Chains A and B, each alone.
Chain A
Amino acid sequence: MVGSDYLSINNKVLLIDTLTVNVSTINIDSLITSNQSRILIGNYTDPILGKVTSESYLKLTPDNYYIGSSESDTQTVTYVFDSIAMILKYDRYYYGDTTKTQTINIHQLTQKVKPNTDDTNFYNISSLTYDSKSIGTKTFHPKPIGKDSINIQIDATFGKNLFNKLYNNDITDANEFDDLFKGVVIKPSTTNSSNMIGFNTSSVLRLYYKKANSDSKNSLTKDFTLSDLTKQFNNILLDRTGTIIQNLPDSKSKLPSELTNNNAFIQSGTGLACRIDFPFINQLKYISEKGIIVDAELIIKPNKTSITSLFPLKDSLEVYESDNLNRISRVLTNSDGSQKLALLNTTPDEFNENIGYKVNIGSFLHQEMLKTNGAKSTLILAFPNISKGVNRIVLGNQKNAENKLKLKIYYISY
């Protein structure tokens, strides 16, 4: 419209894309891995971050403490032990090279599955003592998509003992059962593994028995299940020795991306997360007397060379607000209350400039701009299901020429 130009004079609308953004890697040391409904087993050596190992602790309980169809089953006397096996059911999660075989070992726990601390959780760094003698081992080609489960034959002596205790009514309740059989740990062998495999919590320890002198084909079963999921957790460790993040400080500090080739790292399970600081955000206060950051678009790009078919991208990142000591205060949300995610934009353009995780953080930055005291907040990026998997990603900072982080701040004065 003729004359509209005069309208633009009172309110300055600006785009600021030069604000300094500091990117770093932090180490969250207390991921709750109990009650996550995944048995995660395996190890692999990440070419960048080092060797990742996950072993799973689980308590297995029977529905009842007798053999046969009921406590008064007259047939019970005729039953004899046949065999025992751990049946691990794939939950379709895997990471790493599944064309390589994996060897797993099952050990009896020598300690009850009870948290050491005051709370009811187990963490990625939690562990329990176990008998060094394995009661079952298997080397297999993981087929997390093609097959339903794997079967690991368990030591017959162990199985027979379990059968007899129930057969003879030596065990009649949960406490007595706990004293006899505290649970198992399923460990990957220290060598010979290049992948992580997820199994679901309908996995069972299955005891086979049959009538004396009958065929194994007609055997009956008794299942020991994960009836209490809070009694199952994964111990996930990263051995960073010799890697670029060898000097990752404790959970209250950060490792600046400038010291790690202008990259920051996220790895689920082991607690690596990416922290983003906006050290000069309150300088924007001085653009005009009164102003609002109405929107801000943060695009953080995965390092292209770090993405392979073995280590694929996930389509989103979770965004948390935290303090300077990496203590998370809240998860960023959308206007409808749902969790705000940094979403992977894969729509290619001419220069592939748009491939990256994008999240709008205008409200967060506006709040930060207006803060008058020194308590700046930071953002922490992590994968969804951070406690369940071991996915990792390498993200570029503002100085990373190939995968440069971008921040566009939209500002209006009023």
Chain B
Amino acid sequence: MKNKIWFILFFTVQSVGLYAQSVSTSPYSIYGLGSLFEANFGPISSLGSSGIALPSTTFINNRNPASLGYIGKNSFFFDTGLKGFQTTYTSKSTNEKRNNFQFSHIAIAFPLNSKSGISASLKPYSSASYVISDYQLTIGNSNEYYNLDAASYGGLNTFDLAYGYKIRKGITLGLTTSFYFGTITNNKNFTIANSETNINKKSYYSGMRVTLGNQIKIDSTFNIGLTMKIPSQITGSKTQSVSTVNDTETLYIEENVDSDVTNYYLPFEFGVGLSKSLFKKFNLTIDYEKSLWKNTNQSSVYGEYKNQDKYALGLSYVKKEQSYKYADKIHYYTGFNYDTGFLSINNKSVNNMRFSLGVGLPLEYTKSALNLNYSYGIKGRVGNDLIKENYHMIGINLSFEAIWFVKRKFE
């Protein structure tokens, strides 16, 4: 037990360490809130991100707060993870490979009584980190060039508080309140003719959003789940400093001047999920989600916002849940996810397709598991102003369960 706690501590420290320096290198990190990040707990990444209908019995299911109504009354869950990406970006003219590691999440959940449970989690929402050096661009109205060095860091995080309640046997309801917060610092250096201009922006964002969830147990092998996300906005403020140096002088044009940032609107979203166990060894999960981005009436430098459809399919296998043989207890997962994306660039959508595999290695005699997963995905396509990303993603997360309340009883 002691060792296990050390292991968790180590894992957590590692995760937070990476969190502080998480760098997304996606081209989409350049504008707005940065590139969005999907964090999933337990084996959900391996299941193609499906799981709206899964209960939080063996891990914290962040896909649906209603799942917390099924948390065992003596369980305490802790979940944390890391993700590593290797992405090849291809544009019409060039391609390049970038790697990065990213903290995924840290979460706890525990029951309030036999009918309800709560969870709290912290995870990155977006990353706006990038570094671009010595980038040559054309000066408007001319055939001369200027050089741009730009760097950005920071992003948004979410802190979720979720509550699930079993209103009667087989029906649970849930609510998640998500708090969005974060700072994006952006520094640009323009070398134009014999001058250098520095523009430094700090954007502060905050927002809140509510998710409602429901899970219904049709029978012992079949669950359905529903989620609904209320539209919301993330408001921003910005301070900007501008200075320029030329052969005559250094001019401080602006120093920490406040200005408005375009608010970012999160759309109304709803999702439906099914979970069906088959032959006692298999479990099939299917999710469909729709996000009504079009109604947010916001614009993007990339293109038009459009409504988004997400399809997720997952299959898990375990030979024997309870067995003396360790190998029998290993879970195997596979999944597929297709997402139409919410942006349309030159009337082409930036869709995302991902295939995943994973294993859940049980730890000791609790429901704790070390989940490992691998995904391969393709996002976008090559074309005018379009970029295709081919990525390999490796995820590792620890879903840890402690039976603390029981132990206390016997002490």
Contact = CB atoms under 8 A, between A and B. Distances in A.
Given A3-B26, A7-B135, A295-B246, A412 B192 contact: yes
B253 A414 contact: yes
B295 interface: no
Contact of B139 (A3, A15, A335, A340): A15
B31 A292 contact: no
Contacts of A334: 247-248
Given A13-B140, A335-B250, A363-B249, A294 B301 contact: no
Interface in B57-81: none
B193 A410 contact: yes
B247 A2 contact: no
A13 B30 contact: no
B199 interface: yes
A15 B139 CA distance: 6
Interface in A182-237: none
Contacts of B258: none
A6 interface: yes
B244 A294 contact: yes
Contacts of A155: none
Contact of B251 (A290, A360, A363): A363
Interface string B238-262: 0010101111111101100000000
A353 to B, nearest CB: 15
Interface string A35-59: 0000000000000000000000000
A117 to B, nearest CB: 35
Nearest to B136: A4
B249 to A, nearest CB: 5
B272 to A, nearest CB: 34
Contact of A2 (B27, B193, B242): B27
B188 A3 contact: no
B89 interface: yes
A11 interface: yes
B109 interface: no
Contact residues of A: prevailing secondary structure: mixed
Interface in B179-211: 188, 190, 192-195, 197, 199
B249 A2 contact: no
Interface in A157-190: none
B139 A362 contact: no
A14 interface: yes
A414 B240 contact: yes
B387 interface: yes
A292 B199 CA distance: 12
A292 B94 CA distance: 33
A340 B248 contact: yes
A4 B301 contact: no
Given A15-B141, A292-B242, A6 B31 contact: yes
A218 B297 CA distance: 107
A408 B140 CA distance: 12
Given A3-B89, A362-B246, A13 B192 contact: yes
Nearest to B148: A7
Interface in B121-169: 132, 135, 137, 139-142, 144, 146, 148, 150
29 contacts: A1-B96, A1-B135, A2-B90, A2-B91, A2-B96, A3-B26, A6-B301, A7-B137, A11-B199, A12-B140, A13-B139, A15-B144, A17-B142, A292-B251, A294-B193, A294-B197, A295-B193, A333-B248, A335-B246, A335-B247, A340-B247, A362-B248, A363-B249, A410-B139, A410-B193, A412-B197, A414-B197, A414-B199, A414-B253
